[in-house]
Structure 1
Amino acid sequence: MKNGEKSVFCGVLKTAKLPDRSASNICRCVKLDERKLSGYKTHDAHFMLHYLLPIPIKSFLPDHVAIALIHLCSFFQRLCQKVITLEELDFIEVEIKETINQLERIFPPSFFYIMIHFPIHLANEVRLGGPVQNRWMYSTEREMGTFKSYICNRCYPEGCIAEARVGIYCMNLFSRYWHGAVQTKFNRRARNNDECDPSDAETVSLFSKKGCPLGAMKIDPFILDNKTLSQAHAYLLGNCVLPKKYMLCKEHEKEVNNQSRRSKWSKAKNHCQNFSQWFETRSLQEDVPNLIKQLSRGPNSIAKRYSGYLINEYRFHIRQRDARRKTQNSGVTLFASTTSFASSKDKNATAADLTYYGRIVDIVELDYYSNFKVVLFKCD
């Protein structure tokens, strides 16, 4: 682990999927040893223009040239976003006119043909036709590629396509009348189906939704160290959905806040660090239900490890598994409601929803002595 990185646990339910920026074909086109690009497609050009091209431009070109080109890349990136407002359209429409004027001061007149002037009208086209995603040609190009694969006799391409489509329509019609035991594309299980194992159906869930591991267990059960075990248990106590646990959490906060002559920062630190130990002691009283008492024991030090997990119809991999793949499924983002302090002397705590980004380094299944099982993501 690099210096400055921290490993923390996050629950599978509150973890959101990051956009897969590696979906472009650009990683397969680059040949570093030969310094060549092969198989370069239109979508790769968009990917280069939106994300990659501004980086070398800023490093190697003069400032007045780099600023104009970066503004041009930013224009296309904002124009192609999924959500765009009319006010933003008015702003980028004015900005692209200024950018074109800056380019006219840099490049010779022979550079400016009709396609260079065309971006001025793109903002108005979005205003009339809606977001760009609804008018992409990528889906049509993919379908045309499928039609080309049907051609067996180049003298009669239309006949080959028509014959292949008739066969596909017939097979689709027949598959609708098979009984349920026969698996077809209409009744088969989805690739990212996150239904849990029937053997775990009776296990009490500490989160509102279960997922399922991806594949078999990676290795034999291993032993967690004390620090990792305490971090995982502390996260679980702060995020499980048991109502009585929430009341005990408020009770501990009230006890900590009643301590006089202490700053808000030290009280918040005390609640965060000592809640697990206080929770274990408080659960020994008779007014606490058995489910809370079982939770207060903490997890078993022997845990399981997986290399993939399915939850919320998303597929997650650990970083080691993604190292040998073209696409990446280890990136996550977490929205956390937390109280922030500027320093230890800060008396005005700020409660806000913060966004954290990271990559999954481990997927661990904790066993609370067969009472419940919990899967957590360990992230950098």
Structure 2
Amino acid sequence: MVSGYHQYFKAFADVSKAIHSGMETEEILGRIVTSISDTMAAKGCIYWVVNRDAGCIAHKVSSGFDFRSLSAVDLPTLQTLFPADADHLVFIADVRYDDRLPDLERLGKRRVVSVIGMPVQIDPPYGGILAVYFGAKRDLSRAEVEFLTALGEQGAIALHKALRYDERLLDTFRQTVEGLTMALEAKHPETHGHSLNVGRLAEATALKMGMTEKAARSLYQAGLLHDIGKIGTGREILGRLGRLSSREMDLVRMHPVVGANILRPLVFLSHLVPMVRHHHERMDGSGYPDGLAGTAIPVGARILAVCDAFETMIAGRAGIRPISLEDAAVQLNIGAGTRFDPQAASALVAAVRENPSVLDTPMGSDADLKRFEMLFRDHREMDRNAPWCTVSF
């Protein structure tokens, strides 16, 4: 027994040292499942990380024999086997005769007999599930129960630290995004405030469309950076929007590609790349840079497209006069279905009507905003062939 305790203590100490030395979480979990398999002479061990809000298995680390009847099950089956509210280890004496485990093995459930598992509390919405399995019937001694529980909790500590680190990383990410935006707008003061306004509009529109807060926040960040590709465009060109030659227009139309190329190598910004690259695509396929149409355009890019155009309409640009809310409503409706995603346009109008402070730009009286929403809703009966207003770039 002393020798057994020595093994347990050594494994526990090794994992603790790995956690506090800053080792990657993947490697720590790998050490945990390997230590459990080796020390308990088990057939294998698995540590799942689950996202309960998203209803999915976020990650899985295993060691030993791949018992597919357990390792390949879905989250509902896992939660049936090892409920999140269980306050003790779950023993399955003989999986060969337990219908809760599907028969996913080529030779059937013949190589594993006993399975012992436990739910692990991490940091909502994340939780863990740890399971160890044996090739013969097995009961655990008190020392083994303590050992398994302790290593399961050590995994939770490692994951908790990793999640807290991610929060700090996201804060750094936010500061980086805002810094890049300020750098762009300092170079081109004629567009000052545009990216921030587009980001706010995009976030509000995404929430109105029923997207999650996380997805909406990504839209905000993409809005901040949607024009980052213009950082290489000369002020003399951006100061003459609406009066450019075809060659100059070709240069301006490269900014979504340039912006995507700037962001792509930055891993913590790479999820924004499709939105930035495609925010000038049109629903009818006449946009740029790739001529995508309809649902082939990422939904985030469709939201950015309508928010970008609306902000430009009401704020104006050098050489481009702003238009009224009433005219903007008409123009949004004309473009819905051809230039803009109709659902995104409707959500934008509703978001602005409900929360006009989403923009720094003065939005007019409540009566103006009501008329804005009414005109957008009713204008579908008007002439769809009216000329489109000055576009945004």
- TM-score normalised per structure 2: 0.17
State the structure with bigger RCO (CA 8 A, min sep 6), 1 or 2: 1
Name the structure with the higher strand share.
Answer: 1
